[in-house]
Structure formats: structure tokens, C-alpha cells
Structure 1
Amino acid sequence: MFKLSSKSHFYWLLSIGCGFVTQRTMAQPVPMPGISIPLNDMSAFADPASNWRIVGNVRADLNKENTLTTDKGTGILANIPPAKNPTGGKDLFTNLQHGDVDLELDYMMAAKSNSGVYLQGRYEIQLRDSWEIRTPNVHDNGSVYERWDEKRPEGQKGYEGHAARQNASRAPGLWQHLKISFQAPRFNTNGQKTENGRVIRVELNGVVIQEDVELTGPTRGSAFPDEKPLGPLRIQGDHGAVAFRNIRYVAYDKPRPELLNLKYAVYKGKFQKDADFGGKAPESEGATTVLSASVSRIPNEFLIRYTGTLRVLEPGEYQFNLGVPGGGGILKINNQTVIAPSEWNARGKATLPKGDLPFELLYAKFVDWAQPGLGLAVAGPGIREYAMSDMAGGTGEEVDPIIVDAPTNTMLRSFMDMPGEKNTQGRTLRVTHAVSVGSPEQVHYTYDLDKGALVQVWRGSFLDTTPMWHDRGDGSSRPMGMVQRLGAPVLFLTKLASPQTNWVADTTGSGYRPKGYVLDESDRPTFRYQSYGASVDDKIRVLAEGKGIQREVTVTNPTSDLYARIISGTSISALENGMYLVDGQEYVRIDDVAGAKPTIRDSNGRQELIVPVKGKLIYSILF
């Protein structure tokens, strides 16, 4: 505990255990709520053509190219190409004119369809059915499309395209989620461009596939040959059937706060305990234009006090993110504490009026092994989070990720956390006997040896094992691609007195005994276990063209009334030809259940697809 002067007091409690893990100075920004583009009619769009319509539901058939089926209603924007001229549709422009923007939406592609979102009508993020693609190029889903110059030699006319880092796409007819952060080009008062636009980040189905892509000019097919501070969103409508919902945006069009008359004073000492340096002369002091830890030449046991003025041009609520590695800090604005005494990283928020407001920031460094650094970021109404500091030395200890690829069939044992699922203590559920199986087709899965359960499947890169092997590690790994989690794992097989009996929550009474696995000639496992007196072989294989996985379960001497729970979800809908749609996120296809009849049933507020087991069952998950 300590106090800084007779007029400025602050206290913090530092508690660092021997198991402390260094944190990054600047945490990820908290998402801001967006403004919805209404989809109850077409009034949000300028002069929409007849191929665009508002509907209440939409479906795609995997076997019908460029085709969406719709139902009447509202909430979904659909592009239905003219039947006689599939490429005769027109693009759609919003009435919204945007500069810097965060855009978030759901979209659904028809089979073999193609579309795109043009930021400011000029810079395209490609939307495409890339389900069967292993290595994306600039034409595939989530890519920043290429620029084009007819004057260049053949084979070089297209340039500066940026392919998605990995294929994180879902199958046609499944809803996909896209998040884009865009920074518009900058212009001076004479209208001359001073800075290129940038795609700051693109996230597809939870996977970051683009970061910090500079846009030197409009991409191919731009609606405008020039560049401007503002422009409309444009959705491509002349290439294929596509649907959208939940379109939201945050526009960043307000002026940033400015730090003025910034002064610093550096005091020598270990300001971790009670101390009063009200009459103590600083080691150094002066004026500066930026917050930085570099104003102190003392490597450890020092305190920097910044004072000045924060000029706020846009009143409203502001969020502050303070990083002070190896010590603690406090932030005051307008004579109010915004970030209370804290260590390493902290956040705070304040409602600020327009005007010049008193500013004070303190950073005490007293942990000798940490590198000094000072980071302060701010976000506010119409203002994207940005750093007010130089961040020099402020990121703490950087950790190189430990990545496991799967160029061949690959297996890894680890713990596996299940976000969204809770254990009996209310914490994130952890599968403790998980085996993750990777494939060169870039479709992977995790299996729970404790229950004979398929835990998750995913497309893209294999595993991030940094949490498992860095430093002391916690034994866990993380999937790196587009993940389809299949809920809290339960026994795949159980006895039911009737099709409506609750599924057994654990292995009690089942006689479940894991028997390991055997590998085939390609190093692909077949898991073996005993349950209810039967011997079970559980073989999971990647489907052709990486479209998903197929599971073949063989049960020798099955007991009577034995059932398999194939899938669970909030909503399961029966389609044609043994297909089921689960939560709009994956398909289940029944391939062979020896004549048994699958049943969709309600259970604890969810739905389950179950089937009686007569010896062998085969089904596929397509995603």
C-alpha cells in the first residue's frame, strides 16, 4: 500500500504466486454492440433489383447447384438468381455510407455459389461455396479478392489478392458467421489519399483468417474506380444464390480524444508498500507527446507519474485498457478514478463530457524480472479501440505458439476443454481422456475414451498445444480450425426402457470398459470398448473431399433395448434421403442402421436423434 502525495492517494494489493503466468499488456478489446440493418423490408437498400427479397426461412440442397428454397416471412435477405438467367441478377447497395466499420453477419451459400461483400462498394471479401477446398486461394471463401490490371502480362493481371489463411468454411445450406474490421483510406483537406485502407481482421466461423491487409486500391469488380472516405456496403448478386441474416455494424466516425500538455515525473523507489514522496524530488521530469515507459532510465523500482489534459470532442461512455507489466497502475480522468489501483492489466470505463479534462496516470514498476512497459488503449462512442501509448516494451513475455500439424494421419492425447459446457462445479467442462485425430484432408476430430463419445469435429489447421507444453503447461490443447462441438460427451450407447427414457448421464451400470484402439495401414484408429456386455468397434474416417466424417460402430452381441445417441441440438429437422439438419450448423446423414428407425425426441429442453442398435450402424456428419 502506498500514497503518492498529500493530494493524490492510491492503494493496491499485489499478490503474485510462484505459479504466476505473464499476461499480455493489452487484452483483446471487448466487442461493442452493433446497429442492426433491418430485414423486415428492403428499405435499408438503394433501388433493390427483383433478385433480392426478404424471406422468413431459407434452405439449400447439397445436390442442387446455385439453388435456395425460401418461405414467406421476414428476417432474412435472399438473392434468388433469375431462373432463365442465373447470372442476370444485380448487386445490392445499402443506404448506409460507411468509413471505418466493424461488420458482423450470418450468411448461407447455395451449392457451387459465389458472392461477395464489398466494403465501401470497392474492396471485396469473397463469399463462396468452398466446402471441398483444402488450400484456399484468392477466389475462395473469406479471401480478400485480387486487384486487376488489363495492362499487365497474361497470368499477372490479377495481383495483391490475399487468400484466407485456412479453409474455415461450412457446407452449403449451413449458416456461416463472418466478422470484418475495416479501416477506410485517409485523405487530406485537398482530397489526396494519405493512407491506404486496411482490412484489420476477418474472422470466419470463429477462426481468424485475415489480419492487417493493406488495400492499395479497389479490388476487381469494384463499383467505383476511385477511393473515398465513405461508401456503401455492396453485396454481389450476379454470381449465385446467397442469403443473409443478423447484419450488424459499428461505425467509427467520431474524433478521437487527444492528450495535451502531457508532463511526466519519474521517482526512484519501490512503491509497493506505504510511501510518501510528496516532498521528494523526481529523478527526471519533462514534457512529452506520448505515454511511454521509456521516459524512465531506471530498469526497476521506479514510478512514473503522467499529468496533462484529455481533450474529449465526443461525449459519452469510454472504455480504457491499461497495461503496466511488472507493477501496478491507476488512471484518473476529470478528477475521477477510472481504473482503480491494479496490477499488470486492468480495464475501466467512464462517462466523459465534451471538453478539456484533467488527466493523471501512474505506473509503479517493482517486479524485477519483468520488462517495463506502459500501454493505454481507449474506445468510445464511434471510436474504435486504439493505443494512446507507444507500447514500447509493453507486451510482456511473448510466447511462440506450439503448433501440431497433421500432414499425415496424426494422434495426440491431451485434456480438451469444452467452451459453453459446465461441470458440476460450474466451471468449463474438461475432457480428461481425449484423443484428437488429425488428417491430411484437414478434417479432424476429438474422441472421449471415457465414454466412447465423439466430442467435436473441425476443418482447417490441427492443434495449438501451447497450453499443454509451454512452461509447466496444463495438459490441454485447442483445435485451430472451424469447430463443430457436439455437446457435453455422454455414453454413445445405452439401454433404454422406452424411446422416451432419459439418456444415462454417466457410465454407472453400463459395464463400460475402454480397450484402447488399433491402427489400420494408414495409421487411422478404430477405438474399442465393452459396454452392457457387448464388444464395440468404433471406426471414424474422413469423407471424400473432406466433406466431414463417417462413423461406423460395430456391436458384437448387443443387449436388448440398446440405443445409440447420434446427435443432440437445440433443433433437429428431418430432411430427405436420411438427412437431418442440426441447429443450422451441420448435417447428419444416416447411411446404414440395419433397418432400424431413427427417432427425434425432446430431452431437457433440447432434441436428440437416437436409433435402436441391431449390431452395426453407420452415419456421417457433414459440416
Structure 2
Amino acid sequence: MFFMKYPTIKISGKGALVMFVCLLGGQKLLAQSSVPLTDLSFFQEPSSNWKLATGVQADLLQDEVLTTKDGNGILVNLPGKKGAKDLYTKSTYGDVDIELDYLVAKGSNSGIYLQGRYEIQLLDSWGVVNPKSGDNGGIYERWDDSKPDGQQGYDGHAPRQNASRAPGLWQHMKISFQAPRFDANGQKIANAKVIYVWLNGVLIQDNVELAGPTRGAMDSKETTAGPLRIQGDHGAVAFRNISITSYDKPHPELANLKYSVYKGGALTNPDYKTLKPESEGNSTILSSNQGKLSNDFLMRYTGTIKVTGAGEYVFKLSVPGGKGVFRINGADAVTADNRGEGKIQLTAGEHPFDIVYAKTVDWAKPALGLTVSGPGVREYLLSDANVSNNDPVDPILINATENTILRSFSDLPGGIRVTHGVNVGSPKLVHYTFDLDKGMIVQVWRGGFLDATPMWHDRGDGSSRVAGSVMYLGKPVPSIEKLSSEQAVWSPDTAGTWYKPKGYMLDNAGQPTFRYMVYGSMVNDASVVIDGGQGISRQITVQNPVDGLFVHVVTANNIEALGNGLYTVDDKSYYIRIDDAGGAKPILRDAGGKQELIIPIKQKLTYSIIF
């Protein structure tokens, strides 16, 4: 089946596989329409609680507080006490993808209503261990007033895990929605579906069927299209980078399919007029299940493809165990070695095509696959959905039901591999990875603990993957360095520091304290989960420190000081809070085009990573 490196998802039928491909393809296939936020003209009669800003900030200690900076680019809801109303788009949408950033105030509540009727909940669910349908990223429940108290709500869908960030931090959400379907008489023949919701890089909703509007819908009627609606009367919330992709065109169709299967997969550009096929015939579907050969064969299809709109179309071709080519109008649209992707401009109408699959690797099962996307067309599977999936591996997931430690390689952005990483998991669903080579926390995350499939399946490669919403803390560097001045350059490695890792000790709760020598001093480095699952609190203690020691807290593209020892990092991605610096003053400085936060240390430093 397509894209075998991804986890298995149970599917049935062609439409389901379309969702599978859309969900896991991981690419934006169409130019998305960005919502202009230079004014509010995109929306219907916005009420006074809606405004534009160029900056926004929440208060971690006070409910429903957002402060703004005048300007544009950010849509802000400040509901106040009276007269706050929801916000509706002027345009209406059927099948649609929505991508946006949002930021909630502490204790805030909002929502995105697809077609004005089906709510994806936005809520301050920071630290919730077992999220419900009313939590952040949940699909809100339906409601029946005729039922007894406590039973009116039903058919809600909780997120798979809580991937929510702290109030005042930007969160990223991607929603894919399929409108309900109706016959010629207006009778509903298929329910609406939320194909997926991704929150902060984690899949939290997958192929959820919606039997009807959720509670708070603008009306109880279901239709093929409706406006997008943002809840405005419940809580303070901000949005930016809103993009909408509407799918309002019928998908391309194949016709006049003919196939031929030839023995010998190594054939290149054969003369089909003289080559005798092992089998041939007409077909109603593009499929690898033609003929009896399982290897060393060449399969060719010819036919026509009909598109309703002119524009650029993207095709993906999957030919496991071999090579292939997809041609339209005699031009190569895709060439593939196991898989490939290509773009081609097409006019509206029918176009002749041919597709060749040459299979030569005997351990792979035949599985010809072809998808298409284009103007107003969501990625669609043109080939048989019921083909071999080449035995994909069920993921090997590790849950931290108690304080858990697992050593593995960890891969960071930029091609960085941490080869001596210690992954520390917590039942509070907040976890981190400590790099024993540098004495640094390199990543923190919440939600699921680890996917150990690449480490434990078959021969393995020694690495594990984060199973939750991760925050990377920058390129690994030594945590402690001796500097000649506050502006001296931080070394990228431990050379000259006499750094020697001494392993770790576990306390009675199974939480590690990492120990290492640096400049002849013993360092104890312990991190614990903050109450309420708010993040990680790290305490570094140095015995008999030499003069001039500094702790590297973070290097980032930008760091903003908020006062009282609190900083936001990388455009409000997470917070750093200096809890106890022993009287030392944090230093925020430029470092090679980035910003760096360092702190002198005498004996002890405590700070928190809040996310």
C-alpha cells in the first residue's frame, strides 16, 4: 500500500484510502488560500470583540487575560462582559482543509465550527492527562434536551492524546473535513467526516464520522456547504497564519483501461507490437492484481484520464520492488524507483495516459498505486484500494505508566543524531531526553512516550521516536562552560572542559539525577515534572566550582524577556522561567545570528522549561 514507512491504519474501500493518503502523505499539494488579516473584510459583520493586532501576550497567572500590540496580522477575540459574538466567514465551504496557529488565554474556551455546525474545541487544556471531547482538539458532543440530566450529551470524540501547550504559546492545528453527501432529492446519503486533526505535530483525530451537528451549531440543518465560524462569546483567543483549501471539484476519472503483463521486469522501452504478453485484457480499475506473475514482470496500462478543471495536477506513483513511469499525452509525469511524485499542467477534458510497472525485487509484493490532486481536488486514489500492503509493521509503543527510562539514539532536526541519549518518561505525560555526551536536555514533550519500532523491529537501528508533541531545545552544546567574559563564545563540544559523564542515580520514585565532572567539579543534574504537568524543572548543583562557570540555558532564533525571570522562546513556542539563580543575573546575548540565554553559576541553579 502507499507510503509503507507509516503506521498501519485499518481502512476499507477506496474513499477510506484517500483519507489514509491525505493523512500520511505529509505534503501540501495545493496552493492554499491565506486569510488576509490586514482588516476584517474576510468575515461577516464582525462584532466589537474582534480586533487585529501585531502582537499578543497571555498571563500565566490570570484567567482570560490577553494583552495586544496595535497593528495587524493577528486576529484577536476579547469577549469582555457583554455583546460578544461569534465570527463567520463570508464564503462558504464544503470539503475543506484548514491550517492555522492559535493562542489561548489561561482558562479560555473557544472553538472552530466547520460549516458553522461541527465544532473542533479550542480550550486551555494544559496538563490534562485524560482529555475528553470538550478538551482542546476534541470534537464536541451532540446534545438532546429530551434525555435525563447527565445524559443529554453524546457522540463526542476526545483527542487521542493531549498535545496542548501552555496558555500564551502558539499552537498549530491542521483540520481536514469532508462535507455530508446528498442525493438528487436532497436526502443525506453520507455523514460528514473529520478526516483528521493534527495538533502541534500529533494526530489527535482520525477519520471520525459525524452523525449530525454538534452542540451549539448555528442550526440543525445539514447542507453541502456552510461558513467557517469561530466562537467568540466564551474566551480570549488569538489566531494567525490562517489558510483554507477548498475542494469543490469532482475527482479525475480513469476510463478505457487496458492492461498487458509481460515476463521480464528488466525490459526497457520494449516494442509492445512485437512483444507477446503473458496476459492482457480490459479492466475497470487500475490494479496490480492482473495476471499470475508475482515477480520479474512488466505491467502496462493504457487509458484516458478526465479532469474537469485546467491547472497543475500532482501525481504520486507507488511501484514496490521495482520501477515505473506514468505518462500523460506522451510526456513523463512521474518516474518512480519504488515511489515517485510529479507535477503536470493539464487542460480540462480527457487525456491519454500509459503507466508501466517493472518489478524485479522478489521480496516485495506487487502493489501498484496512483494518486492525484489538483485544483479543487483533494488527493484521491485512482488505483485499487485492496492491494497488498507489503506487511507494514505495527508500531512498538512504550507507555510511561510509571517513571520510565530508556536509552536510545535520538534524531533531532538538522540531521543531528544524539548517540548517548537517555529518555526519561513520566506518568504525568511529560517527558525529556538527556544527552550524556553534553550534559544537556535536548528535547521535551508531552503525550505519548516513545515509539521504539526503529530500535526493536527486525535488526533495528538503535533509535526511538517521540510519540507525543515535541519541543526541540536547539543544537546540543555543553551545559556548563568556563568563559573568560560574558561575551565569550560558547564552545560547541566538551573539548578542554575535562567533561566526564558519571551515569545517573535513581531516587525512590525512579527519577534520575545525572552526574558528570566538568573542570574538576562534580555536577548533579536533576529534572522533575512540574505539578500539573506544566513542564520540566531542572536543578543543577556544582560541588567546589571554579571561577567563571556559566550554564547554557537555551539558544534560539529569538528570546523575549517578559519580566520576573520569565522568557518566551522561538516566537512563543515555550517558556523558560528562572526560579533560583543564587543571586546571579541571567544574560541574554547575541550568538552567531541567534540569541542565547546563559547564567553564571556558583553552586546551584534551578530553572523550568514550561510548554
Residue aligning to 2:9: none
Paired amino acid for 1:542: V
Residue aligning to 2:361: 367
SS across alignment from 1:481: strand
- Of 73, 85, 88, 1:90 maps to 85
RMSD, aligned CA? 1.7
Of residues 523-532 and 26-35 in structure 1, the stretch that sits farther from structure 2 once superposed is 26-35
Paired amino acid for 1:553: I
Offset from partner CA, 1:169-213 (integer Å, 9 cap, x none):
000000100111111111223222221111111100111111100
Q: Does 1:412 align with 2:409?
A: no
Residue aligning to 2:436: 449
For residues 308 and 4 of structure 2, what CA distance do their matches in structure 1 show?
A: 36
Offset from partner CA, 1:488-538 (integer Å, 9 cap, x none):
111111011111111111111101000111000011000000101111000
- Of 56, 59, 66, 1:58 maps to 56
Q: Does 1:30 align with 2:18?
A: no
SS across alignment from 2:289: helix
Residue aligning to 2:565: 578
Q: Verify the 8 A CA contact 2:422 2:434 in the aligned structure 1.
A: yes
Where does structure 1 lack aligned partners over 5 or more consecutive residues?
Answer: 1-20, 422-427
Q: How does 1:381-420 map to 2 (within 5 A)?
A: 381-419=375-413
Q: Does 1:349 align with 2:343?
A: yes
Q: Does 1:614 align with 2:602?
A: yes
Q: How does 1:291-310 map to 2 (within 5 A)?
A: 291-310=286-305
For residues 112 and 547 of structure 1, what CA distance do their matches in structure 2 show?
A: 14
Paired amino acid for 1:64: Q
For residues 177 and 453 of structure 2, what CA distance do their matches in structure 1 show?
A: 30
Paired amino acid for 1:606: K
Of residues 192-201 and 407-416 in structure 1, the stretch that sits farther from structure 2 once superposed is 192-201
Paired amino acid for 1:41: D
Residue aligning to 1:541: 528
Displacement, 1:366? 2.9
Residue aligning to 1:432: 419
Q: Does 1:318 align with 2:316?
A: no
Displacement, 1:132? 2.4
Q: Verify the 8 A CA contact 1:510 1:532 in the aligned structure 2.
A: yes
Of residues 440-449 and 583-592 in structure 1, the stretch that sits farther from structure 2 once superposed is 583-592
Q: Does 1:100 align with 2:84?
A: no
Of residues 407-416 and 281-290 in structure 1, the stretch that sits farther from structure 2 once superposed is 281-290
For residues 597 and 301 of structure 1, what CA distance do their matches in structure 2 show?
A: 70
Q: How does 1:378-527 map to 2 (within 5 A)?
A: 378-419=372-413, 421=414, 428-527=415-514
Displacement, 1:386? 0.8
Residue aligning to 2:591: 603
Displacement, 1:23? 5.6
SS across alignment from 2:71: strand
Q: Could you say if the C-alpha distance between residues 248 and 273 of structure 1 is closer, same or farther in structure 2, counting changes exceeding 3 Å?
A: closer
For residues 65 and 323 of structure 1, what CA distance do their matches in structure 2 show?
A: 51
Q: Could you say if the C-alpha distance between residues 283 and 253 of structure 1 is closer, same or farther in structure 2, counting changes exceeding 3 Å?
A: same
Q: How does 1:9-408 map to 2 (within 5 A)?
A: 28=25, 30-31=27-28, 32-82=30-80, 84-85=81-82, 88-272=83-267, 276=271, 278-340=273-335, 342-408=336-402
Displacement, 1:283? 3.2
Displacement, 1:281? 3.6
Of residues 391-400 and 304-313 in structure 1, the stretch that sits farther from structure 2 once superposed is 391-400
Q: Verify the 8 A CA contact 2:558 2:594 in the aligned structure 1.
A: yes
For residues 492 and 33 of structure 1, what CA distance do their matches in structure 2 show?
A: 43
Offset from partner CA, 1:190-245 (integer Å, 9 cap, x none):
22222111111110011111110011111110012111111111000111100001
Paired amino acid for 1:249: I
Paired amino acid for 1:608: E
Where does structure 2 lack aligned partners over 5 or more consecutive residues?
Answer: 7-19
For residues 266 and 604 of structure 2, what CA distance do their matches in structure 1 show?
A: 70
SS across alignment from 2:273: coil
For residues 281 and 574 of structure 1, what CA distance do their matches in structure 2 show?
A: 75
SS across alignment from 2:513: strand
Paired amino acid for 1:370: A
For residues 91 and 507 of structure 1, what CA distance do their matches in structure 2 show?
A: 55
For residues 36 and 434 of structure 2, what CA distance do their matches in structure 1 show?
A: 42
TM-score w.r.t. structure 2 length? 0.94
For residues 64 and 22 of structure 1, what CA distance do their matches in structure 2 show?
A: 47
For residues 396 and 380 of structure 1, what CA distance do their matches in structure 2 show?
A: 28
Paired amino acid for 2:452: T
For residues 524 and 212 of structure 1, what CA distance do their matches in structure 2 show?
A: 38
Tell me the number of residue pairs that the alignment of Structure 1 and Structure 2 aligns: 592
Q: Verify the 8 A CA contact 2:287 2:387 in the aligned structure 1.
A: no
For residues 182 and 339 of structure 1, what CA distance do their matches in structure 2 show?
A: 28
SS across alignment from 1:77: strand
For residues 280 and 42 of structure 1, what CA distance do their matches in structure 2 show?
A: 65
Q: Could you say if the C-alpha distance between residues 178 and 23 of structure 1 is closer, same or farther in structure 2, counting changes exceeding 3 Å?
A: closer
Paired amino acid for 1:483: V
Displacement, 1:22? 7.0
For residues 67 and 471 of structure 2, what CA distance do their matches in structure 1 show?
A: 25
Q: Verify the 8 A CA contact 1:324 1:394 in the aligned structure 2.
A: no
SS across alignment from 1:462: strand
Of residues 352-361 and 515-524 in structure 1, the stretch that sits farther from structure 2 once superposed is 352-361
Residue aligning to 1:425: none
Q: Verify the 8 A CA contact 2:257 2:282 in the aligned structure 1.
A: yes
Paired amino acid for 2:444: V
Residue aligning to 1:10: none
TM-score w.r.t. structure 1 length? 0.92
For residues 370 and 617 of structure 1, what CA distance do their matches in structure 2 show?
A: 55
For residues 273 and 70 of structure 1, what CA distance do their matches in structure 2 show?
A: 64
For residues 186 and 590 of structure 2, what CA distance do their matches in structure 1 show?
A: 62
